[in-house]
Amino acid sequence: MKAAAALELEHVSRRLAGRTIVEALDFGLARGRVLGLLGVNGAGKSTTLRMIAGLLAPSAGSVRVDGVDLAARDGHARRAIGYLPEEPPLYAELTVHEYLRFCARLHGLPASAIDAAVERATERCGLGEMRRRLCGLLSKGFRQRVGIAQAIVHEPALVVLDEPAAGLDPVQALRLRDLVAGLRDAHAVVLSTHVLSDVTACCDEVVILHRGRVRHAGTLAELERDAWLVVRTTRAVEAAEWASLPVVAEARPGGDACSWRLRLEGGAGAGALAAAIGEHGFGLDELRAEHGALEQLFVTIAAEDSIEGKAA
């Protein structure tokens, strides 16, 4: 029997105050994968995350976690979901250790498993030296770490993180990136962020929301495979010569006659292109993937705003 996906969204829509915030969301995620949820401000990311975390009921469609519809509200989500909102939900008056014990109990862990679970989450999030510190006295970086620790302390199938890197300095952000990437060992992770480099570094899959709809959903590997290649040849090459190569789907000039940007046919790799260049005697000086395939896609989608705005 096929195992249920950790997360499945089916035609999920949400209306608030007569306005459609998100519409017809369809995507899923398996355990061991990290999904990056991208979108400009107001795209519907937080609403989507709140629905995934069970905080907000969809107006239409269903959100299933581990195969169980959250609409049932039968307590399944209590164990299956770990959620870190944009602002970590910490009780300033409790120490880190007390707080994590409270969270473990709140999520229904049996008393006999609590000490081990708290210890495990503390270690995974690098909070060993902070366990006796009051939550209210922690730095922003450690607050985020405690927030992640409370999201994973009960070993949920799905961890939902809403912009965990917001407001962190670069060093803290890098450490947090490693921590999030490490979560895939035991969980499915949905990560909402504005930082595209976090997505490329941590995520296996990406969903781009724009104006409440999914504009792109796929794996980062697909995105990179579909990315343009930058080629520099030792001699000038005509566009027609590129067109004659079966592996090349599209060729655009890159500045001079020796520099080109190429998109390959599906299934063709850079190795096949290099071989074809050699066979045709173009001479290969440089061959690399164009940086920022995700950035370009994101900017293109985000730019639809201004284009549509001007058209209107």
Partner 1 sequence: MSTVGLIARNDLRRQFVQPLAWGLLALVCALFAWQFLVAVDAFLLAMPKLAALANAPGVTDLVAMPLLRNASAVLLVIVPLLTMQSLVGERRAQTLPLLLAADVGSLRIVLGKFLGAYAVVALVVVLAVAMPLALAAGTDLDLGRLFTAALGMLLFAATLTAIGIACSAWTTHPALAALATLVIGSVLVMLDVGARLRDVDHALINWLAMSNHLEPFLRGVFDTGAVVYFVVVSTLALLLAARRLDTLHTRG
Give the interface with partner 1 as residue ranges (CB under 8 A). Answer: 14, 16, 47, 50, 53-57, 73, 75-78, 81, 83, 85, 87, 89-94, 98, 102-103, 105-108, 111, 150
Could you tell me the smallest distance in angstroms from the CB atom of residue 207 to partner 1? 21
Could you tell me the smallest distance in angstroms from the CB atom of residue 86 to partner 1? 8
Q: Look up residue 157 and give its two tokens.
A: 């199938």
Of 72 and 303, CB closest to partner 1: 72
Could you tell me the smallest distance in angstroms from the CB atom of residue 83 to partner 1? 4
Residues pairing with 262 in the sheet:
229, 251
Quote the Cα angle for 78-82-85, to 5°: 120
Could you tell me the smallest distance in angstroms from the CB atom of residue 102 to partner 1? 5
Of 60 and 106, CB closest to partner 1: 106
Could you tell me the smallest distance in angstroms from the CB atom of residue 119 to partner 1? 20
Contact call for residues 133 and 146 (beta carbons, < 8 A): no
Closest C-alpha among 206, 210, 232 to residue 218: 206
Of 50 and 232, CB closest to partner 1: 50
Closest C-alpha among 24, 21, 33, 4 to residue 206: 33
Could you tell me the smallest distance in angstroms from the CB atom of residue 87 to partner 1? 4
Of 82 and 204, CB closest to partner 1: 82
Of 47 and 192, CB closest to partner 1: 47
Of 18 and 309, CB closest to partner 1: 18
